[in-house]
Amino acid sequence: MQPNTLLDALLDEAGVSHAGLAAHVNQAGRARGLALRYEHTAVARWLKGQRPRGQVPDLICEVLAGRLHRTVTLDDIGLGVPGMSSAPTGSPLSGFVERATALWRSDEQQRPHVLGATAVTGTPAVMPVWEWENPPEDADVSREGQARVAPSDIALLRAARVHYELMYRKAGGLATRARIVGFLNAETAPLLRGSYDDELGRQLHRATGGLVAIAGICAYDSDAHGLAQRYFHQALRLAKASGDRGLGAYVIALLVNQSLFMEEYRQAVAFAEAALRSGGRSITPALATDLSAMQAKAYAHLGDRSAALACIRRAEAEAERISPGAEPAETGYVQPGLVNVQIAEALLSLGDLPAAHEHAAAAVRTPAHDRGRVHRLAMLCQIELREGDADRAARTASEMTERARGMESQRLRDRLRLVRDHLLASGGGDAREAAELIDGALRVPL
């Protein structure tokens, strides 16, 4: 069940409260001979994704149409029949644009039913990937709107993506998310609703997809997994509209990473395979490296040693082919040393401590931005503790904690807690001191 951001947006536009909508629906129902007794709690359930029964969706359209002085359809309020549209005209993308921008608005306004939504699994999680991978393609993404989009607008969105990605790496997703969502609402939404031909429209959808992917990363880093997943699904749809298969494969890599965190290992394997299969020549060496390394981690968790080692070999081979100047901006995160720490995690799951230590140490020796370095140090610390070297692990943990200060990231806090618990379990004096250092860092925003 996904939050109904379209209904939420129309309620806000119409200036109707939850209690007000319930009262108006009851009144409209009486005119049809229905005895309805809805209250604000029912509207809250509708906004969380519950579908009202019987004629109520039509009554909601009637109430809102009267307030807004225009026709309001079931699709407009997010209650249309899946796979069917009640709108007689319009681009297939038009409905998507309204749903996407409604989500951005709800996120910026901190709507609890959006922020607290859980991530979907099973078919609802797979379908966006399947739809990206398979026909039909968008034959024409042009649109007629009030404001005409110019190439300079596309350049602005591209620059914003780079800016917010750097902010995320330095300050974390908690600090960055509000800023990028504000930008999406203030700057990006009007452009998507603007006027553009097919060629410029594809550039616009690609630039927007890159921005929305960063918003998803920030939501993931804030522990809002349902919201992050919806952003990733949006970015995947935007990638398809742009015609850029490489961008779509990058977004799927983000879904693979989230699947690993959610311990959906078979889904992670399948998603990575879909990206590698469908991306074709658009898959750059850096992206192939990351997808293969994440597949290795998933196979390792599933206990498939031979498949994990095969993916490790493929990741190492692809890493040798990386040419930074030939990579798109989105794959800049695949920096030297990243494949080492990914492989180290896979080898740790397989129980190969010497090889895992070798890769983790190599990752730490390789320069990286602060966020990446924290994760690399955390992995090395875990391996050192598994090897029984508590003193060395304590030194590694101390450096990791100092590097993490100033970053507002739920994922980093999770890593610090995990390392702290392992240090306390080791029982060494230096390990206890390092654990206390982490505790001190956790008491204040990182």
Q: Are residues 164 and 179 in contact, defined by beta-carbon separation less than 8 angstroms?
A: yes
pLDDT at residue 251 tops 60: yes
- Single out the residue of 92, 98, 199 nearest to residue 149, CA to CA: 199
The pLDDT value given to residue 397: 93
Q: Are residues 217 and 411 in contact, defined by beta-carbon separation less than 8 angstroms?
A: no
The pLDDT value given to residue 445: 58
pLDDT-based confidence at 83, cuts 50/70/90? very low
- Single out the residue of 214, 189, 200 nearest to residue 154, CA to CA: 200
Share of the chain above pLDDT 90, in %: 69
What letter represents residue 267's amino acid?
Q
pLDDT at residue 393 tops 90: yes
- Could you tell me the residue ranges of all domains in the chain? 5-80, 91-243, 369-446
pLDDT at residue 86 tops 80: no
Peptide bond before residue 136 is cis, with ω within 30 degrees of 0: yes
* Structure tokens that stand for 295 in this block: 């597949």
The pLDDT value given to residue 88: 34
Q: Is the dihedral of CA 415, 420, 425, 427 positive or negative?
A: positive
Total-model pTM: 0.85
Q: pLDDT per residue over 214-244, tens digit each?
A: 999 999 999 999 999 999 999 999 999 999 9
- Single out the residue of 187, 91, 87 nearest to residue 144, CA to CA: 91
The pLDDT value given to residue 68: 86
Q: pLDDT per residue over 122-160, tens digit each?
A: 999 999 999 999 999 999 999 998 889 999 999 999 999
The pLDDT value given to residue 305: 97
Q: Are residues 258 and 265 in contact, defined by beta-carbon separation less than 8 angstroms?
A: no
Q: Which DSSP symbol is given to 333?
A: G
- Average confidence (pLDDT) over 288-306: 97
